[in-house]
Copies of this chain bind each other. A is one copy, B any other.
Amino acid sequence: RPRKALNEALFFPSEIACVEHIFTPSSPHSCVCFLPHGVETSFSRLLRHILSTSSSLDLCVFAFSNMDLSRAVLALYRKGITIRVLADKDYTAITGSKIGVLHKAGICVRCNANSVHMHHKFALVDGRLLITGSLNWTLQAVQGNMENVLITEEPDLVQPFIKEFHRLWVLNDPA
């Protein structure tokens, strides 16, 4: 019998806690920083879902400046995950944006070139899991705002986002 499709809602601002153990699961108790340890938060749940990627990650995020989320994407890239990033041209130029860092690391990045403002904040994990909501990938959003993120495997929700990502990816081909 097939497993029930995953459906999960996360709310922010997230509690502030150390997320080092999520990046280094082999040595979970090694961190000596001053943040609380061993606490599961909305943000740690979000990070775990992103780091669960095994083959492909498609990102379409207006504002991306969060250090931990950037670290997660770079860690996936180094593992050989196929990553595509659709970003907003104006936000990408802002100090603190991580889009330049991802691009320099070798990740395929496209910016929307037209005047239509790119306001999405979604990710597609392995073409199977949709992560979407009001949350921009910034520290302000994670720690300072009331926000929501919805995580779902429902094909009726995931498939249209896959199609829209493909449409925008082709539309913003700089070639």
Write the residues of chain A forming the contact surface with B, with a CB cutoff of 8 angstroms.
7-9, 11, 13, 62, 112, 116-122, 132-135, 140-141, 144-148, 150, 152, 154, 156-157, 160-161, 164, 168
Contacts and interface: CB of A to CB of B under 8 A. Distances in A.
Tell me the number of copies of this protein: 2
Nearest to A88: B146
A136 to B, nearest CB: 8
A148 B134 contact: no
A164 to B, nearest CB: 5
Contacts of A62: 134
Given A133-B132, A134-B134, A154-B154, A116 B146 contact: yes
Nearest to A86: B146
Contact of A116 (B121, B145, B148): B145
A139 B92 CA distance: 24
Given A145-B117, A146-B112, A148-B132, A7 B164 contact: no
Contacts of A168: 146
A161 B9 contact: yes
19 contacts: A7-B156, A8-B157, A9-B164, A11-B160, A11-B164, A13-B116, A119-B147, A120-B134, A120-B146, A120-B147, A120-B148, A121-B134, A122-B134, A122-B148, A132-B133, A132-B150, A133-B134, A134-B134, A152-B152
